[in-house]
Structure formats: structure tokens, C-alpha cells
């Protein structure tokens, strides 16, 4: 039984989803994650390794250890609430894409070698883009295209890196790689970095995710970046540069999140911020930090899923997700509001909520390794998370001033999906020992002590106080219809505009050059026509025949010269 | 920030908002008092400052918002900037 790679169950479900409709399809979509999850839990033991060989290469399609299993369980949970949330959707291609996408994520985390990883890496890219395109708008189409370019580029780098790595080390096994192996290490590192949304490589995420369908974004937020986090944890644990990258990722998006109007884009920025905590943990590389990184990935998929679901429900009911146009929705969507607030408290890492038990491990690890300034920056980022994701999201959507919008509560299936995620947020937060038991590295850690709880509560309450104070003073920036320039400006504006200008410039230059030269020639001809030389017969226009005649005479002369006197020497 | 109690239009009444804020301020004060009474473990020297986390959280968020507002001057464009 344990020979069967779990991704096959999802791929089979994707196939079945194409041929079924209505209730049977809904049952398939719901059963697949549950069955796969149970299979992972009961049927696959850490240490399983199923190899196959292709063209003389030994590849491993199912390599299970505690690290891959943890992500396996997580992806089953995410696709379970994702499937419930999308139960009302009738669009077949979204279901196929969703199942293939989730299956590819499972395939990737159970890949034992770089080539198998590459295959699932590309499948992730191709299947997920349909969740963006399915929105059907012009914007979604273009954003999906840009998204795809990034994702495929990441795959190409991974393949190139894998080949160079094989050339250098003679193995394709996917274990610790590190940056010391040179070019191969860097190629793979950047491939992972693109999917992980490293700074300057992150715009596919903030560009693409908010353009996807209501249900698609829930799937998108769960898999791609977390597969990348898994890959970094396996391949590059303890690389110091990751601490710098992670801290940057945790800090810069919160500024954007404060001034962003599209609330799903706010969540996309906050996703990068949360992945920053994971990347930092991986960079620190101690057992506690690595456990913290993967535990935080676990919590994040659930609370970020919950937040995206609640904002999706608003978008579904109201047809708009701009903070500037919403407000007062708690009156018509009280359940969604309450569930959103649970997600907001979890991402803010309030004690008793899931973010607290995982993020504190990374913070403690920073402290243990004496990274004082990084610790301060991460504390700043923690306060910032609460500010933009914890307060801003629920506040501008559900409270704030009354926008006058009256709508219905979210559909039942969405409420159930959100409740499942909210329950898990609370369960992990209150009973963290079950999550801790799944963590790959052996560490004795317990988050609930007086210092942690008091410190975190103070930090959060006074962040909230700052929000209240800024609002009362009228200093809080209003939500505005706008676009904020980010790294994408380079390829969406600078390069196209630059190309446009260059082409224009060259065209103008060509035109003026042609005119100048023609005028010159005309002038010369006129001058020549007036001169006495014009009467001379060589200056008349010759027929081609006479030219050929003269050339053959010259050639004949040259031939004679070469044969009689030897080469001209 | 919120709680969905008995009735839906709970925050339409100003006194409810005031009540919520008063409760919130009370908790803030309580947290500072607790910080002075209880003993926290200290990892870094700056944690020794009384109510370090409270001050840091407040200052961090004010700075965050002030800087983000300034960023708007440079970064903000019309909604269909990229569609033009």
C-alpha cells in the first residue's frame, strides 16, 4: 500500500472531476483530501522511499520523512477546506486545476530527487495559473501571463541548477544543497527564491493572487510559497543570507499593506511578510528555528486561508474588495465577520491562537542566537502584522463607517470551510502539543510562559492603541483607489515604456537620416548635371549589360595575371 | 476589536463604541501595571526597560503608518496606471 505516491489520488480526482457533475463531483472533491490525509497518516511511514529509473537515472517519487509528511498533512488540510469553500463552483476547469495543483504540491514535497521535484514544480505553475485565468477578466488574463512567466522561469532555473548539480556532485538526490556548491547552488536557490517570493522576485504574488477567482486565491495562498519554504528548509537550512532575506521580507511588505486598497492584495503582502518569518527561521538553521519555520508554515496556511476565504466571501457577496468602498458589513455578514476576526487574531499571534505558538519559536531562536537587531526588526514586523492584517482587514471590511452596503451572509459551504479553518486556528493555538509532535526536529519547547504571553499581549494591545490614536487624530491614511508602485514597475512600465521610446527614437532617427541622405544625393546629382562632366559618356546611366561586360574584362585580366605570373606576390 | 454580541447594529450606538474603547484602554493600563509588578525573563538588555513591549509596539505602529503615508507621495498612482 505504501508504494502509492499520494499525488496520484489527487490527479485521479482531477480526472474524475472532468467527467462528473453535481453531487458525485462534490463528494469526490471532499473525499480526496480526507482519504489522502488518512493514507499519509496511517499508510506511509517516515523512511519510505519508492524509486523508479528513467534513462539510467535513479529517481525517487515518494521519499517520506517527518518534514515531507508534515507538509503532506498540511496540504491535505488546506485542500479540504479549499474544496468545501469551492463546493458551489460549477466551473469544471477550476476544479480540475485545483485538484491538479494540490496534487502537484504533494508530489513536490515527496520528491526525493531534483528532477522529480522539477516536474512537479512546473506542474504547480501550469495548474495554478488556471485559477487566475478562470476569473475571466482582461486584468486576470494579463496578470496570469506575468505570473506564468515567473513560475516557468523558476522551473527553468531549477532544471539548469539540477543539471549543473549533477555534473558537479554526481547525484540528483534532493537533500541539503547549500550555496557552497557554487553555480548549481545559486541557480537552485534563486529558483526556490522566486517561488518563495524573495524581495524583488515577489511581484508575481501581489500581482497574481488578487486577480484570481474567489475560490482560486484560497488554493493559491496555500501551496506555491509553502512548497518553496519546504524546499528551502530541506536544501538550504542554515544559510545565513536567508536571515537577511527573511527579515527584509517580513518588514517591507507591511508598509505596502498599510496603503493598499484591495484587501486581497493586502493579504498577499501579508503573506510575504509571514513567509519572511519562515525564511528567517530556515536561515538561522537551529533545530528550534527550523521547527518554528515549518510550524509557522503550518499555521500560516490555515489562518491565511481563513482570511482569504473571509475576504473572498465579501467579494462574492458584494462584488468588490476595495477597502475604500466597504465598511459596516458586520451588520449583514456577522458570521463571516467573527470568523475573519479569528483569522486576524491568529495571524497577529495573539496568545491562544495558532500564530502565537509557531512564530514565537522563530523569535526565541533569534534571541538564542543573539541576533539582537534582527530580533528588533522582527518585533517591528510582528507589530506591523497586527496593524495591517489583524486590524485593517476586519476593520475596513466589516466595521469602519457604514458604506450602506446590505448583503447576505456568506453561503453555507463557505461558512463551513471558514469554520473548519477557524477551529484549527484555535485548536493549534490552545493545544500546540499535537502540532509540536509532528515537527521534524527534536526540540523541547513550550510557548506559554508568563514572559511570552505578557510581552506579546502588550505588543499587540499597544499596536492597537496606536491604530486607535492615529484614527482619532485623523492621521490614519484613508483607503484610496490607487495603485502603489512596486518592483513590477520595472517590467510593467519602465521596460515597455523604454522599449516604446527607443523604437520611436530609432524610427525618427531613421526617417531624418533617410531625408538627409536623399537630399544630399539629389543636390549632388543636380550639381553634377550642371557640370561639364555630365556630357562625358561614362556619366550616363549604363545598361547592366555593359557593366557585366566591363567586369568580365577585368576578371579575364586578373585570370591572365594569376596564371602567367602566379598569385599577386 | 470586535465581538458579535446580541444585536447586529451594535456599533451604531456611540455609547457601545465608547464602552468598547474604555474596556480597551483599561486593558492597556492593566498590561502596563502588570509589567511593573510581574517579572519577565530578560534576553536582551533593552527588554529591561519598563513596559518595553508596550512602548515598542506603539512607536513601531505610529512609525509604520507615518512612513507608509510618506511613501504614498512617491509610489501612489491612479487606479488604472498600468492599463493606460
pLDDT tens digits, one per residue of A18-36:
999 989 999 999 999 999 9
Please indicate, yes or no, whether residues A212 and A345 belong to a single structural domain of this protein. Answer: no
**What band does A541 get if pLDDT is binned at 50, 70 and 90?**
low
Please indicate, yes or no, whether residues A294 and A394 belong to a single structural domain of this protein. Answer: yes
Distance (Å, whole) CA A174 – CA A405:
52
Give the number of beta-carbon pairs within 8 Å between A and B.
171
Please indicate, yes or no, whether residues A150 and A244 belong to a single structural domain of this protein. Answer: no
**Domain range for residue A47?**
1-236
Please indicate, yes or no, whether residues A66 and A207 belong to a single structural domain of this protein. Answer: yes
pLDDT surpassing 80 at residue B84: no
Within the 241-260 window of chain A, which residues sit less than 8 Å (CB to CB) from chain B?
A: 254-256, 258-259
pLDDT at A525: 86
Of A338, A399, A459, the CB nearest to B56: A459
User: Distances from the Cα of A438 to the Cαs of A6, A46, A67, A349, A433, in angstroms?
Assistant: 19, 11, 9, 20, 9
- Classify residue A517: in a domain, yes or no: no
Please indicate, yes or no, whether residues A226 and A248 belong to a single structural domain of this protein. Answer: no
Which of A476, A510, A543 represents a domain boundary (last residue)?
A476
- Classify residue A544: in a domain, yes or no: no
Pick the closest to residue A463 from A291, A254, A267, A306 (CA basis): A254
CB contact under 8 A, A457 and B31: yes
Which of A179, A205, A236 represents a domain boundary (last residue)?
A236
Pick the closest to residue A355 from A454, A462, A470, A277 (CA basis): A277
- Classify residue A131: in a domain, yes or no: yes
Please indicate, yes or no, whether residues A410 and A372 belong to a single structural domain of this protein. Answer: yes
Within the 432-461 window of chain A, which residues sit less than 8 Å (CB to CB) from chain B?
A: 449-451, 454-461
Within the 276-295 window of chain A, which residues sit less than 8 Å (CB to CB) from chain B?
A: none
A62-100: b (≥16 Cβ within 10 Å) or e: bbbbebbbbbbbbbbbbbbbbbbbbbebeeeebbbbbbb
pLDDT surpassing 90 at residue A443: no
- Classify residue A147: in a domain, yes or no: yes
Please indicate, yes or no, whether residues A189 and A148 belong to a single structural domain of this protein. Answer: yes
Please indicate, yes or no, whether residues A293 and A222 belong to a single structural domain of this protein. Answer: no
Per-residue pLDDT tens over the stretch A126-185: 999 999 999 999 999 999 999 999 999 999 999 999 999 999 998 899 999 999 988 999
Looking at per-residue confidence, does A193 or A494 come out higher? Answer: A193
**Is the distance from CB of A36 to CB of A76 less than 8 angstroms?**
yes
Interface check A471 vs B, CB under 8 A: no
Closest Cα in chain A, distance from residue B15 (Å): 16
Please indicate, yes or no, whether residues A411 and A444 belong to a single structural domain of this protein. Answer: yes
Query: What is the maximal distance between C-alpha atoms in chain A?
Result: 110
pLDDT at B8: 57
Query: Which residues on A lie below 8 Å from B65 (Cβ)?
Result: 258, 387, 466, 470, 475-477
As for how many domains chain A has, the answer is: 2
Please indicate, yes or no, whether residues A263 and A228 belong to a single structural domain of this protein. Answer: no
Which of A427, A448, A476 represents a domain boundary (last residue)?
A476
CB contact under 8 A, A470 and B62: yes
User: For the whole prediction, is pTM greater than 0.90?
Assistant: no
Please indicate, yes or no, whether residues A321 and A343 belong to a single structural domain of this protein. Answer: yes
ipTM > 0.85 for the complex: yes
Query: Which residues on A lie below 8 Å from B41 (Cβ)?
Result: 449, 451
CB contact under 8 A, A341 and B61: no
Please indicate, yes or no, whether residues A251 and A381 belong to a single structural domain of this protein. Answer: yes
Amino acid at each position: 500500500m505504501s508504494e502509492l505516491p499520494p499525488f496520484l489520488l489527487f490527479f485521479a480526482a482531477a480526472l474524475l472531476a472532468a467527467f462528473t457533475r453535481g453531487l458525485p463531483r462534490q463528494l469526490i472533491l471532499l473525499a480526496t483530501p480526507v482519504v489522502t490525509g488518512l493514507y499519509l497518516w496511517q499508510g506511509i511511514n517516515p523512511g519510505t522511499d519508492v524509486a523508479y529509473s528513467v534513462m539510467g537515472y535513479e529517481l525517487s517519487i515518494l521519499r517520506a520523512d517527518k518534514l515531507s509528511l508534515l507538509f503532506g498533512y498540511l496540504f491535505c488540510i488546506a485542500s479540504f477546506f479549499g474544496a468545501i469553500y469551492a463546493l458551489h463552483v460549477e466551473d469544471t476547469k477550476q476544479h480540475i486545476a485545483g485538484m491538479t495543483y494540490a496534487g502537484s504540491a504533494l508530489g513536490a514535497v515527496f520528491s526525493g530527487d531534483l528532477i522529480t521535484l522539477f516536474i512537479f514544480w512546473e506542474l504547480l505553475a501550469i495548474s495554478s495559473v488556471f485559477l487566475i485565468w478562470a476569473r475571466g477578466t482582461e486584468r486576470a488574463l494579463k496578470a496570469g501571463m506575468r505570473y506564468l512567466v515567473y513560475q516557468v522561469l523558476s522551473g527553468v532555473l531549477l532544471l539548469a541548477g539540477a543539471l549543473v548539480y549533477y555534473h558537479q556532485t554526481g547525484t540528483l538526490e534532493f537533500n541539503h544543497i547549500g550555496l557552497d556548491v557554487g553555480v548549481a547552488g545559486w541557480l537552485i536557490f534563486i529558483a526556490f527564491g522566486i517561488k518563495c517570493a524573495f524581495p524583488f522576485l515577489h511581484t508575481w504574488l501581489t500581482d497574481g493572487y488578487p486577480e484570481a477567482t474567489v475560490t482560486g486565491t484560497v488554493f493559491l495562498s496555500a501551496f506555491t510559497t509553502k512548497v518553496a519554504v519546504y524546499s528551502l528548509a530541506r536544501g538550504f537550512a542554515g544559510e545565513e543570507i536567508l536571515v537577511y532575506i527573511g527579515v527584509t521580507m517580513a518588514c517591507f511588505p507591511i508598509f505596502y499593506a498599510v496603503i493598499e486598497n484591495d484587501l486581497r492584495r493586502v493579504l498577499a503582502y501579508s503573506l510575504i511578510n509571514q513567509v519572511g518569518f519562515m525564511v528567517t527561521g530556515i536561515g538561522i538553521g537551529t533545530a528550534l528555528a527550523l521547527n518554528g519555520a515549518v510550524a509557522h508554515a503550518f499555521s500560516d496556511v490555515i489562518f491565511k486561508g481563513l482570511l482569504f476565504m473571509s475576504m473572498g466571501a465579501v467579494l462574492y457577496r458584494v462584488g468588490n474588495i476595495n477597502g475604500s468602498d466597504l465598511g459596516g458589513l458586520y451588520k449583514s455578514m456577522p458570521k463571516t465577520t467573527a470568523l475573519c476576526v479569528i483569522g486576524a487574531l491568529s495571524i497577529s499571534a495573539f496568545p491562544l491562537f495558532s500564530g502565537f505558538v509557531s512564530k514565537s519559536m522563530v523569535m526565541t531562536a533569534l534571541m538564542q542566537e543573539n541576533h539582537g537587531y534582527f530580533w528588533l526588526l522582527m518585533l517591528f514586523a510582528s507589530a506591523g502584522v497586527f496593524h495591517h492584517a489583524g486590524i485593517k482587514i476586519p476593520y475596513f471590511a466589516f466595521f469602519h463607517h457604514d458604506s450602506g452596503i446590505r448583503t447576505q451572509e456568506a453561503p453555507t459551504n463557505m461558512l463551513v470551510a471558514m469554520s473548519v479553518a477557524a477551529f484549527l486556528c484555535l485548536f493549534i493555538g490552545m493545544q500546540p502539543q499535537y502540532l509540536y509532535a509532528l515537527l521534524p526536529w527534536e526540540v523541547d519547547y513550550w510557548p506559554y510562559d508568563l514572559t511570552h504571553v505578557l510581552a506579546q499581549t502588550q505588543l499587540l494591545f499597544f499596536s492597537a492603541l496606536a491604530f486607535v490614536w492615529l484614527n482619532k487624530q485623523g492621521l490614519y491614511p484613508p483607503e484610496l483607489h490607487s495603485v502603489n508602485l512596486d518592483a513590477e514597475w520595472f517590467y510593467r512600465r519602465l521596460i515597455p515604456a523604454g522599449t516604446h521610446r527607443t523604437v520611436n527614437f530609432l524610427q525618427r532617427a531613421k526617417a531624418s537620416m533617410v531625408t538627409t541622405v536623399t537630399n544630399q544625393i539629389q543636390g549632388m546629382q543636380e550639381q553634377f548635371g550642371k557640370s561639364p562632366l555630365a556630357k562625358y559618356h561614362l556619366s550616363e546611366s549604363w545598361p547592366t549589360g555593359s557593366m557585366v561586360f566591363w567586369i568580365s574584362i577585368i576578371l579575364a585580366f586578373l585570370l591572365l595575371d594569376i596564371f602567367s605570373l602566379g598569385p599577386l606576390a | 476589536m470586535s465581538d458579535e454580541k446580541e444585536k447586529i447594529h451594535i456599533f451604531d450606538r456611540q455609547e457601545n463604541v465608547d464602552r468598547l474603547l474604555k474596556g480597551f484602554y483599561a486593558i492597556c493600563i492593566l498590561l502596563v501595571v502588570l509589567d511593573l509588578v510581574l517579572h519577565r525573563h530578560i534576553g536582551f538588555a533593552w527588554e529591561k526597560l519598563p513596559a518595553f513591549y508596550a512602548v515598542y509596539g506603539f512607536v513601531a505602529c505610529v512609525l509604520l503608518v507615518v512612513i507608509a503615508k510618506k511613501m504614498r507621495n512617491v509610489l501612489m498612482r491612479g487606479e488604472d496606471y498600468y492599463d493606460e
